[in-house]
Amino acid sequence: MRVRIFSLLLLFAIYAGNVSAQEKPLQWDLSACINYASQNNIQIQQSKISLKQNAISTKQAKAQLFPNLTASINQNFTNSPYVPSNVYNGSYGISSSMTLFDGGKTLKNIEQQKLTEKAGNYAVLESEKDIQMSILQIYLQILYADESVKINQMTLDVSTYQMQRAQELLKAGSISKADLAQLESQYSSDKYQLTVSENNLKSYKLQLKQLLELSLNEAMDIVIPEINSTEILKPLPSLQSIYETALKVMPQVGSSNLEVTIAGLETEKAKAGYLPKISLNASIGTSNISDSNMNFSDQLQDRLNEMIGVTVSIPIFTNRENKSAVEKARLSEKTSQLNLLNTEKELLSEIESVYQDAISAQSQYVAALEKERALKISYELVEQQYTLGMKNTLELLTEKNNLIAAQQSLLQTKYMSLMNAQLLNIYQNSAIEIK
């Protein structure tokens, strides 16, 4: 029987694992990475838990509008030399109170909690934006590293061919040992660069796994899209329009605006401390004692008492408590306004930097593209001249290294342009996709 139960549990575990695996994309493009992270990233989950806690606090604030209800039971045993025997007595009661007027403090507290809950929504959105930016950067670094590996592999293939050909030419006496040594050195350097680029690619994939909360041994099939020049050189909106949109959609701005409103309500709550507080109170109770001639039931009926009343509390002198509370609340209100202004300025600074980087990367990409084309033609000519004996090995390797440097520069400007353009999309709450 135990074996059968164990087998069932094992099958269930395997099935659950398969279901979990099916929830993960088979191929990870940028959209799949962002969608998966929004559901599984620990930071985002923590923000969502905080949001639920804020919702509970809002319910609690609303409940303060209703009367409370408390039941009490007291049982006492008295042993005294002044009475002939031990005495047992008990009291039983139910009481309730309700605030009728507190200067609007309760209502303002409810409004505050609603705004705090809304700010919690902004905190979740801000966490999601942060993760989007991090994933975007790592994903593009993966694309850059993958393309760099391909370039270095092709470069190594050319170096291998040139070295092998040089070995044959040396045997034929057509080149010197010095020429062969230069080509062998170039081969070793190209092989090293390929290893470095492969390790960089592995490192970036590992960082992406960590952002997605995936296990180290879990395989990832990263989608490598074909990116053309049209996508890279896509015209950008104006800086002013991007900033105006960001002020409306970025969560940190919305949260800072709410903090200003919340601080204003805190000032109103502090002012309510100067006003009287009116409460309605009611209770019903009874008691019994062991040395009475009446039975328990008759005692409860005979000693039954009911009370209802109104309590008015008027602050006259509070040791400056209310005045200090108002002054502190006003200062907090000014601080929140300064925080909002600072948030807007920081956002502008971020957008300006990204926008300038995007413009620069696009212009650099055009220049790098032209340079790479020119150096590619130049290298092909030098290679032909080298084959004909018109150029020496040093001239060939110099031209080849110039071409490699141009290719790497083109690659850098390509992905810098793409990344900054996509970051500007995030600031505008637009779709992030790389096709």
Complete DSSP assignment for 252-265: HHHHHHHHHHHHHH
* 146 token code pair: 């993958």
Statement to judge: residues 72 and 83 lie in one domain = yes
Distance CA 413, CA 16 (A): 45
Asked whether residue 16 is assigned to any structural domain, the reply reads: no
Statement to judge: residues 127 and 224 lie in one domain = yes
Note down pLDDT in tens along the chain; length 435 residues: 443 443 434 444 433 444 344 467 778 999 999 999 988 888 899 999 999 999 999 999 999 999 999 999 999 987 766 655 678 899 999 999 999 999 999 999 999 999 999 999 999 999 999 999 999 999 999 999 999 999 999 999 999 988 998 898 888 887 888 988 998 999 999 999 999 999 999 999 999 998 888 887 788 889 888 888 888 999 999 999 999 999 999 999 999 999 999 999 999 999 999 999 999 999 999 999 887 788 888 888 989 999 999 999 999 998 999 999 999 999 999 999 999 999 999 999 999 999 999 999 999 999 999 999 999 999 999 989 988 888 888 888 999 999 999 999 999 999 999 999 999 999 999 988 776
Statement to judge: residues 270 and 280 lie in one domain = no
Asked whether residue 251 is assigned to any structural domain, the reply reads: yes
Amino acid in the structure at residue 256:
S
Statement to judge: residues 280 and 337 lie in one domain = no
CB count within 10 Å of CB 258 equals 22
Asked whether residue 432 is assigned to any structural domain, the reply reads: no
Distance CA 254, CA 247 (A): 8
Domain with 305, as residue range(s), is: 68-101+276-314
Asked whether residue 194 is assigned to any structural domain, the reply reads: yes
Distance CA 186, CA 157 (A): 12
pLDDT of residue 57: 95
Least Cα distance to 100 among 326, 270, 282 occurs for: 282
**Is the Cβ–Cβ distance between 148 and 294 less than 8 Å?**
no
pLDDT of residue 229: 87
Least Cα distance to 312 among 282, 281, 270, 272 occurs for: 281
Which of 286, 314, 342 is the last residue before a domain boundary?
314
**Is the Cβ–Cβ distance between 139 and 208 less than 8 Å?**
yes
Statement to judge: residues 384 and 331 lie in one domain = yes
Torsion of CA 122, 127, 130, 132, to 10 degrees: -100
Helix, strand, coil % in the chain, rounded to nearest 5 = 70, 10, 20
**Is the Cβ–Cβ distance between 78 and 86 less than 8 Å?**
yes
Statement to judge: residues 196 and 283 lie in one domain = no
Report CA torsion sign: 18, 20, 23, 27.
negative
Q: Which position has the token pair 């979740």? A: 124
Statement to judge: residues 213 and 328 lie in one domain = yes
Rg of the Cα trace of the chain? 38
Asked whether residue 185 is assigned to any structural domain, the reply reads: yes
Statement to judge: residues 203 and 308 lie in one domain = no
pLDDT of residue 262: 96
* 237 token code pair: 């909106």
Statement to judge: residues 84 and 152 lie in one domain = no
Asked whether residue 12 is assigned to any structural domain, the reply reads: no
Distance CA 115, CA 108 (A): 11
pLDDT of residue 20: 42
**Is the Cβ–Cβ distance between 123 and 47 less than 8 Å?**
yes
Least Cα distance to 121 among 242, 257, 246 occurs for: 257
Statement to judge: residues 285 and 353 lie in one domain = no
Statement to judge: residues 56 and 198 lie in one domain = yes
For residue 259, with 0-12 CB atoms within 10 Å meaning exposed, 13-18 middle and 19 or more buried, which class applies? Answer: buried
* 58 token code pair: 């809002």
Distance CA 18, CA 11 (A): 11
Amino acid in the structure at residue 265:
L
For 43, 263, 304, 385, the CA distances from 281, given in Å and listed in that order, are 46, 32, 17, 105
What is the helix (H) or strand (E) element at residue 97, kind and residue range? strand 87-101
Number of folded domains in the chain?
Answer: 2
Give pLDDT tens digits for 130-182. Answer: 999 999 999 999 999 999 999 999 999 999 988 998 898 888 887 888 988 99
pLDDT of residue 292: 78
